[in-house]
Structure 1
């Protein structure tokens, strides 16, 4: 059997130098994970929403291309009558939400949207590899508070990432969060306002895995801030050297976040050579990267079951299955009836959309979503609050799917990412990249 990462660390006598390829917090036994000194009360309670009880299929929806000819769209969000879109190699566009909902046989083009920010309007912006203009969020009080928030990659004496606030009325742009480590890959990048009106920011390990176990680094973390970039209320205490903005750490490259109807954050992140994860966050949780990443039989990594201080995911795809997850959405609308209360996860390398049904683990009721050809995630070492069943939709139909976003009137929108240099199997198509609308059939 190949040595696990734990055995390699113990054998090499790695030092504590955080950027030298070894990992921080390594003790004589080979491993020690960072834990907070104090966390807010975990208000976890049984879900007050009905778990998904039907099996979603592609026949439940009709797919319509509503915008064509985009350049690597990365994020999409709706607010009031507007839809805001980022393009990784560009800036920010605004479309009329009603126009997207009404588009039929003839899709809109990029010029049918209004350019809000050009790439050059973002100070120090760079687009190395997977970096560029990434996540976007809109102030919860929009349009009364006419503010956009954009996460993008910078080159200012080194690669980093930054979150800015842009006032649409005053044409003012202000940095609210800086010093997020960046690299050619693993920049994270998704941002979203939660039900608590805090801005949640997902960051990657910036190709320096050791940083994810440093609570002061802002790398490989989920950050939670006010619209001014300050730590949100009831922050986690990581000690004197920790950043109070850090809600959880130990993440590799998270790119999707959504919230259950109860307000609980759910994230998706890329794993190493498969081992992709869907996690239901706990405040102060350490998700183990890159010291562990799997189950008890993983050939290369320590398992969550070996470390009580680690917080396990609800889904880990294992070393043989790759989703390459990016954006996600919790769909709690009745418009597409059989899709209600599923978590939908966009898949890049897998060229698919995943529908995940979450069932409370101690709920003895039969869940019809468990039937069919879905993959069941109920191992003892996973998050003990839920069991999950995942169904694969649209495999190979749209190519690489970057994001899925609920829109007005209960519709769902997906973004393709076929012009990023990684598409295959006949992609990109002539009209790529696209926004595709999913309507109830």
Structure 2
């Protein structure tokens, strides 16, 4: 049984050659403790200067070619993960992975090691690899240990943030806490920075990431209580923007809870940033009608009042999407605006995983003054009701090849990585396979 590693013994993921090989994720910790939880004592403050962001490029240009002209393959790096939900590369290259059953792990040099188990997180449950009969609701529903993000200055301080579901009596809530992964038992060295986010067996949101200005962005679902998405004093159905200590970002809108950046969301599960620092989120719609939205401070994105018919977005009080899938279901989840050169055909495009759609979607967000990429074998979103700041063109890749793709993330090596979540009981077709769930790296096929 593997010993949990302290931060001092974790190995950096220093590039494509460092992330290689396959490894089982079955490395539970055998440590137990009765010590009282302690708060890590670190200075978590950071600068909030967008021009210091490595990815900052206000002059970026949208591509005009098709992203599917190049064949791309998925190299399996790790198999038999248990419903991985999120990936986060720290500034020094370490890769952190959450498993919805209540674990935070790290992966380096082909090895998976457990980092922490949030003490009060629920066990999300899972089905076995290769299971022929699924269960739409495993024990945790859609809750569990979800988003993960390393502190922008990691490893100093050695803090990793997680969004997870916990129970208090008969009620469920979501919280965000950070863990000192240099401690002997990080689960006992934690600090909650935001609590009381409404939770349920579905619509928990859960993605967290540090954005271009080093603010922590948090996506929150409506927890099945539709009206809360329009209640500006509630955290449900919102996108939050916080300082690393949990306080509201100073220039957030001041109407309602100061931590709220935008509202009127149903179940947002992906958030990423264009090179000019514009935030872009994707979310699950009702009866399909999934969305991609360009976020603005204080923007109302319509839920639950607007979803079914595109013309409803003409309401001047509602910010329209750049994508609404209509009657087609994607169930979009973790996404990244990819700027790396590992898959050059996908560069400067939004890449997102899909659950019910069981594919990877590559979406070109074309600026108004740029030519559009070909829409053959794809789909253009250019009706009059769409957000006119960009024109979206989507292309599907890896259809039914990986199953349910939970998240895609760019590594410090410029490569693109992804995880599946076929063991949540909802996969169709031949999934889950005996090797599910997997961590993969996307690479162009050789000519």
Q: TM-score range by the shorter chain?
A: 0.7 to 0.9
1:168 Cα offset (Å): 1.8
Q: Offset of 1:294 from its aligned partner?
A: 4.2
Moved more, 46-55 or 87-96: 46-55
Partner residue, 1:147: 159
1:9 is matched with none
TM-align CA RMSD = 1.5
Within-5 A mapping of 1:34-433: 48-57=59-68, 59-79=70-90, 80-96=92-108, 99=109, 108=110, 112-118=111-117, 121-123=118-120, 125=122, 127=124, 128-157=140-169, 158-170=171-183, 171=186, 172-238=189-255, 242-296=256-310, 303-305=312-314, 307-318=315-326, 320-361=327-368, 363=369, 365-367=370-372, 369-433=373-437
Q: Is the 8 A contact 2:98 2:146 kept in 1?
A: yes
The alpha-carbon deviation at position 59 of structure 1 amounts to 4.2
Q: How many residues align?
A: 368
3-state SS, counterpart of residue 243 of structure 1: coil
CA contact (8 A) 1:58 1:393 kept: no
Moved over 6 A (4+): none
**8 A contact 2:343–2:416 mirrored in 1:** no
SS in 2 for 1:137: strand
Partner of 1:13: none
Q: Distance in 2 between matches of 1:216 and 1:205?
A: 13
Q: Distance in 2 between matches of 1:359 and 1:113?
A: 39
CA contact (8 A) 1:328 1:343 kept: yes
Q: Comparing 286-295 with 414-423, which one deviates more in the overlay?
A: 286-295
Assess if the C-alpha contact under 8 Å between 1:124 and 1:156 holds in 2.
Answer: no
1:297-340 alpha-carbon deviations (Å, 9 max, x no partner): 6xxxxx111x101011110111x101000100101123322111
Give CA deviations for 1:128-182 in whole Å, capped at 9, x if unaligned.
Answer: 2010000000111111221100000011131110000112224420110001000
TM-score with structure 2 length normalisation?
Answer: 0.80
Task: Give the alignment's TM-score, normalised by structure 1.
Answer: 0.81
Task: Report if the CA contact (8 A) 1:204-1:221 is conserved.
Answer: yes
Which 5+ residue runs of structure 2 have no aligned equivalent? 1-56, 125-139
Q: Counterparts of 1:388 and 1:374 in 2: how far apart (Å)?
A: 10
Measure, in 2, the Cα distance between the counterparts of 1:123 and 1:413: 29
Bigger shift: residues 402-411 or 243-252:
402-411
Offset of residue 296 of structure 1: 4.3
Q: Distance in 1 between matches of 2:221 and 2:382?
A: 27
> CA shift at 1:124, angstroms?
5.2
Offset of residue 77 of structure 1? 1.1
Query: Which of 255-264 and 328-337 deviates more?
Result: 328-337
Partners of 1:250 and 1:193 lie apart in 2 by 22
Note closer, same or farther for the CA distance 1:296–1:353 as it changes in structure 2 (3 Å cut). Answer: closer
Q: Note the C-alpha offset of 1:194.
A: 0.3
Give the unaligned 5+ runs of structure 1. 1-45, 100-107, 298-302
